[in-house]
Chains A and B, each alone.
Chain A
Amino acid sequence: MNTLQQKYAERITVTLDKYPDKRSAVMPMLYIAQEEYGHITPEGIAQVAEICDMDPTQVKSIAGFYTMYSEKPKGKYWLQVCVDLPCALRGADEFHHWLLDELGIEEGGTTADGVFTAEHVMCLAACDKAPMLQCNFHFEENLDKDKMRAKLKAWRDEALAAKNGKK
């Protein structure tokens, strides 16, 4: 029994039960591995391979194809700003660059305190609510600079609190 199987036993069983073939569960399992380790790590891949009865090469391949799995470490809050055409028509490019400047990072970078990673993504199916972004897979819509500043502050405080709490 590997760590994931122990810690997420219930979720894993429910998921495996959905499909006639274990391999179908590889994507949900990768989400679990990402949740556990922060990003897709070699140990995560090895465990998912075991759960889904796949070669680790195939699991890594899946992790590499889909953009919502990150094989690189990410900040606690992973901000993905949609800058696709409809959002861009409503100022998303500007918003995105403002956000990078605000965080003081380059595209795809992580803030020094490890709290934020920001990058642009393609259309998120929220074109009428631009500018918008996805933060750890939850949508934040109809943003502007003020709203965003407030959110960043709240998240940063939360991250700090969590860190201090741990200590």
Chain B
Amino acid sequence: MITVGDRQIPNIIYREVDVPNIREFDVYVKNGGYEGLKKALGMTRAAVIQEVKESNLRGRGGAGFPAGVKWSFIPQDNPVNYVTVNADESETGTFKDRQIMENNPHQLIEGALICAYAVKAKAVYIYLRGEFWDVAHALDKHIADARKAGVLGKNSALKDADGNPFTVEVYTHLGAGAYICGEESALLNSLEGKLGQPRVRPPFPAQKGGGLYSEPTVVNNVETLANVPWIISNGAAEYKKIGVGGSSGTKVFCMSGHVKKPGNYELPFGITFRELLYDYAGGPLDGREFKAILPSGGSGPIIRVTDELLDTPLTYEDLQKHNSILGSASVIVMDDTTDIVWVASKVIKFFKHESCGKCTPCREGTYWLDKVLDRILRGEGKPSDVDLIANVANNMKPTTLCALGEFAANPVIWTIKNFPEEFKAWVEGDKKAAALQAGKSAHHSAPKVAALPAAGD
């Protein structure tokens, strides 16, 4: 149970909190597992999709697209459709899907199967980032358990509403170190054994020609699908009672950076930043103050921590008002010891490393931004360099092929916009002078960050 003030809300996603060992098939089944699937199989496909639509379940992978609407795009008369589960989880600061797969894997499998039924898919591919090597192998075992128990695969004991055997297969597929493979069309390319570069759209994955092996395909995030069994079992109306407005249900918040208790917190939409940061994540480290937040990992705009911000409810809608996004809710918290220009440089390095190279502005822009930020951090920057990078980033935004290029522009655009004084210090102020004096340090140019005690096991 999640305690929010005096409310008690069930853990929809992290059920291991309430039910130890729910990762095991028997335990899962004993606690209502696969009932959602069975119920769905008794409904028409259209009814399942309708239920998910009504629940307002929005994609948890970042873009927040309504899941039911996405499913309804799949042509039901196409002979072969696919479901792919996006378990690439590579956004800086995101680590929630891993916990679902490790601790509550059957719920993901069940959700994916319900989706597969609803869109008449032949198979489910779970695309995990390569680094989830151990996670994938454990997941393989859980899939095998479910297969043995007859809930999936060609020998499944289940039948759908028309009395046909329900024989969807579930497979895992490991990536091998590429953030871009979280982008859905790059993911599909990677799964087809091609370079993980995004495809031109249209056609979209849900359309013929655009999905896996050119067949219509649903791509959903792990957390998105893990919500589905609960929605089918308890109904959309119940689900909507959790959360607020257009943001229904719970959301996992990945808390990292300068907080006392980093970790994943499953909470209903609508709690405030203040509650999240202080009540759950334990507040700032001793003697420090919060300074800035990246609410959506490295890719979203950075925001300054103010009282007004702290009182903002965490919903898709409210964050937009702060010129930011909720995205996948990977909340990276920075306190007053953090140098924001260094943050911009760190994040650009990530995107430069992860740019697939397919489109010009992203490939060249990330390289260029990184070069100039390095120069600034060596103390060799000029005031005009700040305008330069702002301009380069702004030129990237409208011209890139996929959203990675836009993500990459954000850290520069928003650090400059929201923390102009920090850049000033580097290009004409005290930091510039200090850096020049220090010269090029042997290993790296980033300012030292005070060593921290590791979070408890």
Binding site for B on A (CB under 8 A): 18, 20-28, 30-31, 52, 54, 61-62, 65-69, 84-86, 88-91, 93-94, 97, 100, 121-131, 134, 137-139, 142-144
Contacts and interface: CB of A to CB of B under 8 A. Distances in A.
Contacts of B176: 27, 30-31, 66-69
22 contacts: A27-B130, A61-B195, A67-B177, A68-B130, A68-B131, A86-B92, A88-B346, A89-B449, A93-B444, A122-B92, A122-B179, A122-B350, A122-B354, A123-B90, A123-B91, A126-B98, A127-B92, A127-B254, A127-B257, A127-B262, A128-B264, A142-B455
Contacts of A127: 92-95, 254, 256-257, 262, 330, 332
Contacts, number: 173
A28 B174 contact: yes
A125 B90 contact: yes
A49 B158 CA distance: 39
Interface of B: 89-95, 97-98, 129-134, 171, 173-179, 190-196, 213, 254-258, 262-264, 294, 298, 330, 332-334, 338, 343, 346-347, 350, 353-354, 356, 443-444, 446, 448-452, 454-457
A68 B353 CA distance: 13
Contact of B255 (A23, A128, A139): A128
B213 A21 contact: yes
Name the residue in A23, A122, A130 with the highest tally of chain B Cβ atoms < 10 Å from its Cβ: A122
Contact of B133 (A22, A126, A138): A138
Contacts of B446: 88, 93
Contacts of A20: 213
Nearest to B411: A85
A93 B174 contact: no
Given A31-B176, A66-B177, A90 B448 contact: no
Contacts of A66: 130, 175-178, 196
Contact of B174 (A31, A100, A129): A31
Contact of A85 (B134, B264, B350): B350
B264 A84 contact: no
Given A18-B173, A84-B350, A91-B450, 14 more contacts: A24-B173, A24-B192, A66-B177, A67-B178, A69-B177, A89-B332, A89-B449, A91-B451, A100-B443, A125-B95, A125-B97, A127-B256, A129-B454, A139-B131
A54 B193 contact: yes
A151 B403 CA distance: 40
Name the residue in A25, A61, A127, A142 with the highest tally of chain B Cβ atoms < 10 Å from its Cβ: A127
A128 B196 contact: no
Contact of A126 (B95, B193, B449): B95
A127 B456 CA distance: 13
A54 B176 CA distance: 19
A41 B399 CA distance: 38
A123 B93 contact: yes
Contacts of A61: 195
Given A18-B173, A20-B213, A23-B193, A85 B178 contact: no
A65 B450 CA distance: 35
B382 to A, nearest CB: 26
A90 B285 CA distance: 11
Nearest to B125: A18
B195 A65 contact: yes
Name the residue in A21, A30, A124, A125 with the highest tally of chain B Cβ atoms < 10 Å from its Cβ: A125
B449 A94 contact: yes
Given A67-B177, A138-B134, A24 B92 contact: no
A27 B173 contact: yes
A89 B178 contact: no
B343 A85 contact: yes
A130 B175 CA distance: 23
A24 B262 contact: no
Contact of B455 (A54, A84, A128): A128
A125 B134 CA distance: 13
Nearest to B333: A89
A129 B262 CA distance: 8
A121 B92 CA distance: 11
A14 B97 CA distance: 26
Contacts of B450: 91
Given A18-B173, A27-B190, A67-B176, A89 B257 contact: yes
Cβ-closest 3 pairs across A and B: A66-B176, A67-B177, A23-B193
Contacts of B294: 85
